[in-house]
Amino acid sequence: MKTKIGIIGGSGLYDIDGLQGAAWVDVDSPWGAPSDAILTGTLDGIEMAFLPRHGRGHVHSPSTVPYRANIDALKRLGCTDVISVSACGSFREDMAPGDFVVVSDFIDRTFAREKSFFGTGCVAHVSVAHPVCPRLGDACETAGKAAGVTVHRGGTYLAMEGPQFSSFAESKLYREVWSCDVIGMTNMPEAKLAREAELCYASVAMITDYDSWHPDHGSVDISDIIKTLGANSNAAKAMVAGLPALLGAVREDCPHGCDRALEHAIMTAPDARDPALLAKLDAVAGRVL
């Protein structure tokens, strides 16, 4: 199998540089329209696909991002590996604005989003005990450091619904009681859906602020975040540029089983499955259906 890298860009990251044969492509999905057209091309001989999570011009809020359509569209395009790059707040003094965190786990506090491709007529249960792919995490860490970024390997991402930022009490709860490391609004249900679609997934949190817990920084100020986003976005583009050489052109089976997540996940008997739902699952679950 050939490697095809999908990049989902968060706030401040609406394209990537250096793609050869770059073209914006519209992808039809049975789960609705994706956030935007997808920028396709090659980088160092490796096929790439870039999707701006909020759309160019930042038109989607965290709650209205069409997560299912986005993941389905990347799978339809043939992506084998998906890397999320998103702006986040930090709960750790040493994870400072401008630093990157290669996320290792999530706590999902979102409540207003569709979180699965499966449901009545075709029930499936995948494991998200380890929701990110260590192989992709290794590549992101190496590429980030090569780009001159301070990279922290491992951290728990608290996914909140938003669009408001945390209260002081929430920030203290997530930091002091739940021991979270970063906070954002968009990696859930994205990571869960990527697992259902049998896509390797990694998340890079670009730190923009200290949320509202830090005694010397006060509450989150969107103007301060915007100032940091520019530098973070340039660093993220440099990190992305280093990924093709690290991941290589030939895609072997994932040693962690991400690309076989549906192997024993579908519970509904074949004769009880809803044909209409199966048709929508053609890209996501076609391998097992």
Per-residue pLDDT reduced to its tens digit, 38-96: 999 999 999 999 999 999 999 999 999 999 999 999 999 999 999 999 999 999 999 99
According to DSSP, residue 165 is labeled P
54 annotated to a ligand binding site: yes
Residue 285 labelled as part of a binding site:
no
138 is catalytic: no
Catalytic residue, chosen from 44, 211, 224, 274, is 211
Structure-block tokens of residue 223: 């103007």
Three-state SS for 220?
coil
Arithmetic mean of pLDDT over the chain: 94
Residue 38 bridge partners (DSSP): 25
Cα 178 from Cα 156, distance rounded (Å): 9
Q: pLDDT tens-digit profile of 118-134? A: 999 999 999 999 999 99
The whole-number pLDDT of residue 217 equals 62
- CA dist 190 to 74, 117, 126, 159, Å? 12, 11, 14, 10
Other beta carbons within 10 angstroms of residue 155's beta carbon come to 20
Q: Is 209 considered catalytic here?
A: yes
Structure token digits, residue 121? 């007529």
| Cβ(111)–Cβ(39) below 8 Å | no
Q: Which residues are 11's β-sheet partners? A: none
Longest CA span, the chain: 61
* 140-154, 156-170, 186-200, 228-242: least confidently modelled range: 228-242
Catalytic residue among 72, 99, 209, 259: 209
pLDDT computed for residue 219 by the predictor: 62
In terms of Cα–Cα distance, which of 49, 107, 32, 130 is closest to 83? 49
**Is 186 annotated for ligand binding?**
yes
pLDDT digits (tens, 9 = 90+) for 3-37: 999 999 987 777 788 899 999 999 999 999 999 99
Looking at residue 214, the DSSP 8-state letter turns out to be -
CATH T-level fold of 4-280: Rossmann fold (3.40.50)
Looking at residue 215, its pLDDT comes to 72
Instruction: Quick: pLDDT tens for 47-59.
Output: 999 999 999 999 9
Residue 228 has pLDDT above 80, yes or no: no
CA angle centred on 152, ends 102 and 169, rounded to 5°:
85
